[in-house]
């Protein structure tokens, strides 16, 4: 599956709306880890790296930010600004998050537990390996 925006269920209710995500149904992997990124200064970026084995699903729970995906040849920018849309990122994609709005909150669901060895942090090495 390519990187793509997935629309999540949205239950509209006058008491407040609700969305949800189930493993292997709304997203194509079993969730093994959840982390979130918050209090990002406006001019900072996060996550300039690729994962050898990890798939991710990224949701802007609050505010907005851009996820820049580079497959070694082409770059695509996904603007995330709704809590009921998420971006599916397959393994072996270079990805960076930038342009965080004030008080934005990025939720990241992943298919693996944290493993430092799963990271490729050098873009040139990534381009070589993805060939």
Classify strands 33-38 and 18-19 as parallel, antiparallel or unpaired. Answer: unpaired
User: 49 catalytic, yes or no?
Assistant: yes
Minimum distance of ligand TYD from residue 3's CB (angstroms):
17
**One of 14, 26, 49, 79 is an active-site residue; which one?**
49
Q: How far is the CB of 38 from ligand TYD (least distance, A)?
A: 12
Q: Are 36 and 107 in contact (CB under 8 A)?
A: yes
- At its nearest, how many Å lie between ligand TYD and the CB of residue 107? 12
Q: How far apart are CA 21 and CA 82, in angstroms?
A: 14
Binding site for ligand TYD (CB under 6 A): 33, 35, 46-47, 49, 114
Q: Which two tokens stand for residue 58?
A: 């990224």
Closer residue to ligand TYD, CB minimum distance, 35 or 38: 35
Residues designated as active site:
49
């Amino acid at each position: 599956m390519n990187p793509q925006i997935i629309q999540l269920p949205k239950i509209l209710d006058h008491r407040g709306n609700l969305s949800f995500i189930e493993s292997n149904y709304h997203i194509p992997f079993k969730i093994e880890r959840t982390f979130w990124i918050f209090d990002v200064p406006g001019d900072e970026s996060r996550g300039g790296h690729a994962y050898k084995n990890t798939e991710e699903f990224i949701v802007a729970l609050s505010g907005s930010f851009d996820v820049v995906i580079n497959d070694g040849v082409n770059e695509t920018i996904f603007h995330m600004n709704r809590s009921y849309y998420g971006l599916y990122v397959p393994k072996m994609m270079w990805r960076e998050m930038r342009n965080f709005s004030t008080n934005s909150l990025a939720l990241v669901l992943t298919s693996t537990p944290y493993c430092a060895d799963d990271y490729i942090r050098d873009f040139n090495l990534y381009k070589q390996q993805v060939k």
